[in-house]
Chains A and B, each alone.
Chain A
Amino acid sequence: MTISIDRQKDNHQRLQPNGWLRYFSFSLDHKVIGIQYMVCGFLFYLIGGTLASAIRIELASPMSDFLPRDVYNQFLTLHGTIMIFLWIVPVVNGAFGNYLIPFYVGARDMAFPRLNAVAFWLIPPSGLMLIASYFVEGAAQSGWTAYPPLSITTPQSGQIIWIISVLLLGGSSIFGGINFIATIIKLRRPGLKLMQLPMYCWAMLGTSLLVVLSTPVLAGTLILLSFDIVAHTGFFNPVLGGNVVVYQHLFWFYSHPAVYIMVLPAFGLVSEILPVHSRKPLFGYTTMVYSIMGIVVLGLVVWAHHMFTSGTPPWMRLFFTIATSFIAVPTGIKFFNWVATLWGGKISINSAMLFSCGFIINFVFGGITGVALAQVPFDIHVHDTYFVVAHFHYIVYGGTVFIIFSSIYHWFPKVTGKMLGEKLGIIHFAITFIGFNLCFAPQHWLGLNGMPRRVAEYDPQFQFVNQISSIGALLMAISTIPFLVNIFLSVRNGKDSGDNPWNALTPEWLTSSPPPVENWEGDAPLVVEPYGYGDSFSQKNKKI
């Protein structure tokens, strides 16, 4: 089987352009696809960030004076959709997953290279279509949740384009998920056991299970919603006897696991980064694996905590409170284990390490507000307020996006063979960390004191705190400048990194940087102790 794959690949490679043009082609190389995901995702991050800046400018004053009201709603819808479906999900899953997973399992490519390329090439057109809908008749304006009946009554073209775009992105995500499961289960190098895999493989296995189990539900729901919009069916339209709360159940059955689709891979990535830079084995490998799987199972049965005010029966509220609270246990284990990994190490304080530690601090904060939000009586006051906005930005930005940056600093030498500048990296971290906390910490107070989310205007007494938040957002926007300058300078004339600048033991570093097309010159190495750092291990983990 490997032979036929190799031959197919050879044929294909002959048809491909060389050099940088490869990155604009239908390449089957998992490394090229990973970079395509990364760069494409980052471009959408810049667009989503621009929309966020527009939102924060509007909110710098209590009146609705910067954007027209319907455009404001379009911006917040696009901001959420772009950041989730075009930046975080494709990057933590697609970019790092494609680049790293074949190395980690000792394969030369993913299990289904063509499916892999299709999964990537669904993203740019659907993203562009989503943004283009703004110029047609206005983009969707019912929020990224698209609750009916609002999504049925707002202008149709934008909402339909939004649905088609999200369906394509969901398809891309499912293709990717199937590919990761197949690669991790079936393409492992002979002799490599599951419990010897680097933690990111486990995270991707769990994430892909969630993708495959829950994304089809979202797809079905959105198809029904589109019928309601164009064919005037009555699934969710109360005028025709439909039930709007059923939509919320179906939507959150995907969209809560979607949170784990966004954070579990980040948990995997940080588990790779911390041991390398603190020169210690990952603390508690086995409990880490079990806690990932625990989060996957629990993550599927907590969705109704988004609906405590929607009219759910009391027993259901109770069940979802308890189930949601218990997610804190496996998540807590992971955080204690990471701190224990730092403890007693020889820590190099560099940009990758700082972003990872920033992640721990931000995520612990977001996790604590999450446990609070899981309690029905607590949630009833703050649901749909800025408290919730602050909470999930602590999870997805303070958590996942911090890890994306940390990972870029960590794996940039692998991908390019050049080091990123440390000074600019630390400046980037400092501005991001301060800006992020300045932007989102005050929003907890706003929510508790009476500012609902998704509003273009608010009471004048909230102006001062909103302005602090907007200054934080400005800092976050500025923080991308040192980052981009750093990337540009390094690609132009960065310091040569050598093959393994961090002296890491995971298999992707046991080849040249950048790696050859077939990943290794000879056979793939058998790495049974991917975290064998520490003095007593020094001789144990040689390249085989």
Chain B
Amino acid sequence: MLNKNIYLILIISCVFGISFWIGFNVNLLPAEASINAPIYDELFKILFVIGLIIFIGMTLAVIYSLFKFKRRKDEIGDGIALEGNLSLEIIWTLIPSIIVLIIGIYSYNIYDRMGGMKELNHSHEMMSSNNEKIWAGISQSSNNDIANNNLSVEVSAMQFAFLFNYPKGEFISGELHVPVNNKVSMRMESKDVIHAFWVPEFRIKQDIIPGQPTILNFTPTKIGKYPIICAELCGPYHGGMRASIIVEDESDYKDWFNKNKKTEVDL
């Protein structure tokens, strides 16, 4: 009996060990380029490890049963007449409930850190009216933060392109240029069907809905060029509906802005 328990403990610790090793060493995600990304990856790792433990454990249990309890040739008779075991069943009701509850609370915490639970606001000079209905997205900053200092962009999506309007400079661009480490606040609206704004490296996505503006705020942290991908089926050329977001340092961004601006403002 003691031997059996030792084997069991050994196997369980092996499963845990392997799962943790894979979870923390195998990287399945693209580069991290926004404040959101490391927070997301933290959640991903935890879910990955828990998932691996359950998956490896269940798979081993099934395969072990198939070998261990295989009917040998010319063996007759039945297995044990075991109809259930209440305490075992209570255990495997309670433990998953606790795990699920902890995951739920933890992901709530992650979502809060991403800014998802904050009151949404969009600092915008051209905001049409105060009672305009704006639907949720991710907000990175509180009301106070948003006041003056961040970059506002108006995104309009149509079959099959994104347009980025910089209201301060009164110009429209097909590429989204943003300065690194600055908050960007986008108000998005679609001209025709539903589209979605997705930057995998930022781990953010928000649908762009006709007749229903949505808001998405983010802070890029890494200089580079990343794809903006439409993720919602929007017609025959859906797969080709792409744009680029160019994250650059402050001075490069200012040069680009000043080159394009229509009105005389200084950044």
Indicate whether A311 sits within 8 Å of B214 (C-beta atoms), given known contacts A357-B66, A452-B231.
yes
Q: Which A residues are CB-close (under 8 A) to B210?
A: 149, 238-239, 244
Q: Which A residues are CB-close (under 8 A) to B114?
A: 377
- Specify which of B59, B78, B194, B233 is in contact with A244 (CB 8 Å cutoff): B194
**Binary A-proximity of B125-162 (CB < 8 A = 1, otherwise 0):** 00000000001111000000000000000000000000
Which B residues have a C-beta under 8 Å from some C-beta of A?
Answer: 28-30, 39-40, 43-44, 47, 51, 54-55, 58-59, 61-62, 65-66, 69-71, 75, 77-85, 88-89, 92-93, 96-97, 100-101, 103-104, 107-108, 110-111, 114, 116-117, 135-138, 192-194, 196, 198, 200, 203-207, 209-212, 214, 227, 229-240
**Binary B-proximity of A335-350 (CB < 8 A = 1, otherwise 0):** 1110110111111110
Cβ–Cβ contact A452 & B229, under 8 A: yes
Which A residues have a C-beta under 8 Å from some C-beta of B?
Answer: 64, 69-70, 72-73, 141-143, 147, 149-150, 153-154, 238-239, 241-245, 278-287, 309-314, 317-318, 321-322, 325-326, 328-329, 332-333, 335-337, 339-340, 342-349, 353, 357, 360-361, 364-365, 368-369, 371-372, 375-378, 380-381, 383-385, 444-445, 448-450, 452-459, 531-538
Cβ–Cβ contact A73 & B196, under 8 A: no
Cβ–Cβ contact B204 & A368, under 8 A: no
Cβ–Cβ contact A347 & B69, under 8 A: yes
CA distance A364 to B66 in the complex (A): 17
A332's closest neighbor in chain B, by CB?
B96
A538's closest neighbor in chain B, by CB?
B78
Q: Which A residues are CB-close (under 8 A) to B66?
A: 342, 347, 349, 353, 357
Cβ–Cβ contact A283 & B231, under 8 A: no
Indicate whether A310 sits within 8 Å of B209 (C-beta atoms), given known contacts A153-B193, A347-B69, A452-B231.
yes
Cβ–Cβ contact B80 & A244, under 8 A: no
Chain B CB count within 10 A is highest, among A329, A448, A453, A536, for: A329
B199's closest neighbor in chain A, by CB?
A450
- Specify which of B58, B61, B96 is in contact with A329 (CB 8 Å cutoff): B96
A361's closest neighbor in chain B, by CB?
B59
User: Measured between C-beta atoms, what is the minimum distance from B113 to chain A in Å?
Assistant: 9
CA distance A342 to B64 in the complex (A): 10
Cβ–Cβ contact A534 & B81, under 8 A: yes
Cβ–Cβ contact B207 & A310, under 8 A: yes
Cβ–Cβ contact A284 & B65, under 8 A: no
User: Measured between C-beta atoms, what is the minimum distance from B110 to chain A in Å?
Assistant: 5
CA distance A142 to B230 in the complex (A): 15
Cβ–Cβ contact B30 & A449, under 8 A: yes
Indicate whether A336 sits within 8 Å of B111 (C-beta atoms), given known contacts A383-B205, A449-B30.
no
- Specify which of A281, A321, A452, A457 is in contact with B198 (CB 8 Å cutoff): A452
- Specify which of A321, A346, A383 is in contact with B108 (CB 8 Å cutoff): A321
- Specify which of B43, B62, B97, B227 is in contact with A339 (CB 8 Å cutoff): B62
Q: Which B residues are CB-close (under 8 A) to A281?
A: 81-83
Q: Which B residues are CB-close (under 8 A) to A245?
A: 135, 209, 212
Cβ–Cβ contact A150 & B193, under 8 A: yes
Q: Which A residues are CB-close (under 8 A) to B227?
A: 450, 459
4 new A-B contacts, CB < 8 A, other than A309-B196, A378-B44, A381-B40, are A329-B97, A380-B206, A449-B28, A455-B238
